[in-house]
Structure 1
Amino acid sequence: MRLDKFMTECGIGSRSEVKKLLSMKLITVNGIISKNADMKIDEVNDRIEFNGKELQYRKFRYYMMNKPAGVITAAEDRKHDIVMDLLPEWVIKKDLFPVGRLDKDTEGLLLFTNDGEFSHKVLSPKSHVEKEYFVILEKDISDDEIKKVESGVIIDDGYNTKESRIGRHSGNEIFLTIVEGKFHQVKQMMEAVGNRVTYLKRVRFADLLINDLEPGGVAEVSREDIVKG
């Protein structure tokens, strides 16, 4: 791999920016200052340092965010605050995008990656990847209503939801696990049994738990953290 390509894929900057850094003698290969953008390097075995810090090459990157309410899941929007603006400086943003979406008023676990194949796989209903939500409802939900939701309900567009799983936390607080992600699905599932969602937070995506990540916080994770095995 060319040195300038390696640097850009590590998120250091564009190729023209990398050339400027090379001219400033800020990049070393195996301890030797390099000025050659087209230098061939072994991205696995060579030690590349920028300004004294070793760069680790990873073709694909994965991050999790505890999305706060009031922010939309989009890569670009001129009218609203977007999740991409919450990513800290240490995140390598090159080719990064959110995996799926959470509604503006929904909080919780949102993934980011530059791995398009992985994103397509985990979002496909055929993959049966679980997403778990903590839900607070306007009023208590009965056992019969829980069974009805779990077996599948008809939502606004005439779609019959797949089987889901509900764990009761209190009378009007539940943990809902689904394997699909239609627009406003959780809200519509609750409306189908005459209830209304007042608070919604995704707490798990596949095998990855949000745990104690603070609102707006971001952490780097591995593909294996998300989907084990």
Structure 2
Amino acid sequence: MAKLKAKIRLDKMISKCTGLTRSEATRALKNGYGKINNIPQKSGKVLVDLANDEVVFDDEILQYREQIYIMMHKPKGYVCAAKDERLKTVLELLPASLASREPFSCGRLDIDTTGLVILTDDGTWAHGITSPKRKCEKSYLVGSAGELSQEDMQSLEEGLYLDEDDKITAPAKIERLGEKTYRLKITEGRYHQVKRMFESVNNMVKSLHREQIGDLALDPELPEGEWRDMSPEEVELFK
């Protein structure tokens, strides 16, 4: 994870923490909205010591993040995009101060798929998750329309051709959990891959939930539609 800078301009900190522009932050400071260590500040040029200073803006203590790393429990009905003219996006589930930084998802989920989504604005770090060379394994719980035969499961594990793709899928792992319920682990991220894999063995996905990316499992205490900051230890998993 990137180290925090020792000092930062007050107007930049306010902008990063609230989603205001630098000029809007400057106007707010002139109108008496900001304090450092309980001392009113009128200028955005003053430097904040991130290790020691307490900054209050509009009666709220600001928590500065150089970069953001978020775990989200995505619900149905949202798309993993920064903007969409017709559909709700996962950024709408975040406070404006974080959504304004337009973090992107490290591996998208379809609108009707639930589960673990990682959001960040750190492109270098995200590469450790999304790069095909890293072969980061993703684990899904799949509810299917019909039962898979042993032959079907073997085909999914060994690899098969998907419609319009010119090469077979990478080896996968599949486990039968119950009636028409499976755990599928894949290392690729092709378009609608899990659904297309099941269609290739004449089946259909009825429900899909991502439970894990690499060594990071979805927090069982995180309700659907909620998010939290990833811990430093969790961030380190993908360095």
CA distance in 2, matches of 1:79, 1:92: 18
How many corresponding residue pairs? Answer: 229
Displacement, 1:24?
2.8
The answer as to 2:87 corresponding to 1:87 is no
CA distance in 2, matches of 1:2, 1:88: 23
Alignment gaps of 5+ in structure 1: none
The answer as to 2:233 corresponding to 1:224 is yes
CA distance in 2, matches of 1:123, 1:227: 15
TM-score, normalised on structure 1?
A: 0.89
The answer as to 2:116 corresponding to 1:106 is no
Displacement, 1:11?
2.8
The answer as to 2:20 corresponding to 1:13 is yes
CA distance in 2, matches of 1:163, 1:149: 8
The answer as to 2:167 corresponding to 1:168 is no
Displacement, 1:80?
2.0
Alignment gaps of 5+ in structure 2: 1-7
Amino acid at match of 2:81: A
TM-score, normalised on structure 2?
A: 0.86
CA distance in 2, matches of 1:223, 1:116: 17
Taking the TM superposition and a 5 Å limit, the aligned residue runs for 1:44-63 are 44-63=51-70
Amino acid at match of 2:214: A
Backbone CA RMSD of aligned residues: 2.1
Amino acid at match of 2:31: M
Displacement, 1:89?
4.8
The question of whether the paired residues in 1 share the 8 Å contact of 2:18 and 2:96 is answered with: no
CA distance in 1, matches of 2:166, 2:79: 26
Displacement, 1:134?
0.5
Aligned to 1:177, which of 185, 196, 199?
185
Identical columns (%) = 36
CA distance in 2, matches of 1:36, 1:128: 49
CA distance in 2, matches of 1:69, 1:92: 19
Q: Which residue number corresponds to residue 204 of structure 1?
A: 212
Displacement, 1:143?
2.5
The question of whether the paired residues in 2 share the 8 Å contact of 1:207 and 1:227 is answered with: no
Amino acid at match of 2:56: E
Q: Bigger shift: 90-99 or 38-47? A: 90-99
Q: Deviations over 1:114-154 (max 9, x none)?
A: 11112232111211222111101111112332222112222
Distance 1:227 1:162, change over 3 A: farther
Displacement, 1:111?
1.8
